[in-house]
Structure 1
């Protein structure tokens, strides 16, 4: 059952928040051992459910929360041994807003360590599997959240997207995933990877569920100076008539798609044309090079952000009397991928290399933004694949550079700060495929309105879970 349907049943008194919580808790305990979507469950869930006021807007809804979004009193590890026993004394703004409206945190979902990865195989604890095929990855780094929603272990989930970490797992798991405009959702309480790129985003099995979640978590926050004062009107936007829209298709320099992705793209174009969209092929010349800039800028910010994990403030602390020995042995607990990105980031920021790498990447970022602004003078939305292929096998990307190329289609939205929505667009050999829509800055609602039109026009069962439903 979809989140907005559960909410309607609770509002009518047909089911109680406690019954919803019990159903999902039992389902997770029965099915998650084979998936590994959750790192831990909220042991106080049923007690909290008994106290929920059924009249609250989100009463009866349980939400899975990526484990790099802090939860007061509930351990938050970022998928790392360094934070294995860290219990936050405060709440992320997005989580606090959900709780204030009656939603409950079901548990914390698995991720690539510190959100650095595209498969959720780089978790320090265990990998997550794809609900459609357990031999495949769910994508990353929000793979636990995407798998939980796809398997209906939770009707809604929060993830984070730094270079595609909400959208790529959404594509691989056959669900919807939104990377909002940078600043649309407060980052307060999101454990930082790359602060100018990170953004909390929702995952769900329908567009209406995405709108429900975004209306709850979006909006200005005095605790985050980068948050935007744009009132969320997502559910309201879905009720408005669909205006004639100009859709730009980006193909240039983006070769190598699987046959299923190419077929899904052509079918989607046909659907959008049938909805009255005017479609034209457009050029975004710098997009194929965006990956190069991303893997300079993101590691540079990670090098700075992760310097705080030195054993002197919080998290794991190695034993010893000598300061530098303690710091060295503490930081040795970082996983291999995290170490790799810290080293790259430290190098590109070092004396003699800063301008050659970091400075040029920042200049490229400005060019990418200028090109995007020019594009949106021609069209209202952009369409391109989310990933060039369906989910790959577990262990199928041992080469780090091959793993980095998974982000080819997604990093552009993060570098420009634009909103992007991945939506289910078909299957290839039984495995889900996704396409993504991009909109101008602050036009997140337009993405959901277009995606809803596609969802309703296709009448395909993309929102169905491969494992049955909890309710």
Structure 2
């Protein structure tokens, strides 16, 4: 973990004076990062407020270019220490909007090495460790962000989700992770910005700052359960599915939702996802991908004609080791909603007998992000912070 050098005078002149005075919350978060990250390896770099502002630019000017989002009244993000995904995270639009709402980045977090979808993180000090099980990955690609939240260093970290890269690490680290509506545009699957949070009430604050006002939706009345979406049965671990289903039933009871099991049968989107992500895809490949997407969206529409929320395990299995997932596909239940564009939220669903966190994925109709956020805020408790190891893990 690298510590940013003292910012120069030019950067100090750019930064608003109210944020140059570090709050006790920010100081405490930075102290936790210095104490816990040597073994966790979640951060690439710690930065101070002025450095973050200097790299980000002048917030008021950038906010105008991003649509001049303003929040009435004091923001729940004011003075909140956050972590941001990746080396370039301080320049991301998501970060700029959070900073405009008062959030304070304390550092940038780890992502995988190399191209393609990978469910782990890496730093120059080694792999990012899962706070609940250091011999396991935290998931990815928002690896360090999930680990930092689960370890109690920050309560909110930014991520991006192109195949499950927010929801998978949220599930494996026992925190909350949201992929908003969208992700498919102009024949491409694009990563969506998303938060990883410990307290589900922060989801609404993140959405207000980053997405703007959400569309009002009817109160959810019916929840439908699917263990594998009709496509991941061979890869689905029984204990993982049981834990996710138990949490879904608890949520249904708490929220007064009617339970049903609609028998969802979707097509595997692996080839379609690869096609949409590759600029060299042929016309025939794109046509085949479009057929898969259209079929799935038609089937999902039929399902959502009768339910308000679809519940599945976030992943078919719990976290794998640092050597990789092997033959089991971790994204089978997540990337289908990147291709379809539905909003999806992973919430904690307990732990396996081996102590590995499991996630429950909640999916709503396109544009009904508020349904998921309200359910979590009303009926879900803050995630438990992972216990610190007695000694440094080797």
Could you say which residue in structure 2 is the equivalent of 1:12?
A: none
Give the secondary-structure state (helix, strand or coil) at the position aligned to 1:207: coil
- TM alignment of 1:316-335, pairs within 5 A: none
Pick the aligned partner of 1:205 from 177, 198, 209.
Answer: 198
Could you say which residue in structure 2 is the equivalent of 1:340?
A: none
- TM alignment of 1:287-366, pairs within 5 A: 287=267, 289-298=268-277, 300=278, 304=279, 346=280, 349=281, 354-366=282-294
Pick the aligned partner of 1:285 from 265, 269, 279.
Answer: 265
Q: Is 1:264–2:243 an aligned residue pair?
A: yes
Q: Where does the alignment leave 5 or more consecutive residues of structure 2 unmatched?
A: 1-20, 54-58, 60-72, 390-394
| Mapped contact 1:174–1:434 kept (Cα < 8 A) | yes
Q: Evaluate the alpha carbon distance shift between residue 96 and residue 244 of structure 1 in structure 2; reply closer, same or farther with a 3 A threshold.
A: closer
Q: Distance in 2 between matches of 1:156 and 1:169?
A: 14
Could you say which residue in structure 2 is the equivalent of 1:410?
A: 334
Q: Evaluate the alpha carbon distance shift between residue 55 and residue 358 of structure 1 in structure 2; reply closer, same or farther with a 3 A threshold.
A: closer
Q: Distance in 2 between matches of 1:35 and 1:435?
A: 25
Report the CA distance between 1:414 and its aligned residue. Answer: 0.3
Could you say which residue in structure 2 is the equivalent of 1:464?
A: 385
Report how many aligned residue pairs link the two structures. Answer: 346
Per-residue deviation, residues 405-441 of structure 1 (Å, max 9, x unmatched): 1100001110011100000000012111101000001
Q: Evaluate the alpha carbon distance shift between residue 271 and residue 406 of structure 1 in structure 2; reply closer, same or farther with a 3 A threshold.
A: same
Query: Given the two structures, how large is their TM-score scaled by the length of structure 1?
Result: 0.67
Q: Distance in 2 between matches of 1:464 and 1:125?
A: 23
| Mapped contact 2:112–2:141 kept (Cα < 8 A) | yes
Q: Evaluate the alpha carbon distance shift between residue 280 and residue 57 of structure 1 in structure 2; reply closer, same or farther with a 3 A threshold.
A: closer
Could you say which residue in structure 2 is the equivalent of 1:61?
A: 80
| Mapped contact 1:115–1:142 kept (Cα < 8 A) | no
Report the CA distance between 1:291 and its aligned residue. Answer: 2.4
Query: Given the two structures, how large is their TM-score scaled by the length of structure 2?
Result: 0.79
Report the CA distance between 1:111 and its aligned residue. Answer: 0.7
Q: Is 1:391–2:310 an aligned residue pair?
A: no
- The two structures, once aligned, show a CA RMSD in angstroms of 3.0
Could you say which residue in structure 2 is the equivalent of 1:19?
A: 24
Q: Where does the alignment leave 5 or more consecutive residues of structure 1 unmatched?
A: 1-15, 72-90, 188-193, 220-230, 305-345
Moved more, 366-375 or 165-174: 366-375
Report the CA distance between 1:292 and its aligned residue. Answer: 3.0
Q: Evaluate the alpha carbon distance shift between residue 122 and residue 356 of structure 1 in structure 2; reply closer, same or farther with a 3 A threshold.
A: farther
Report the CA distance between 1:384 and its aligned residue. Answer: 0.4
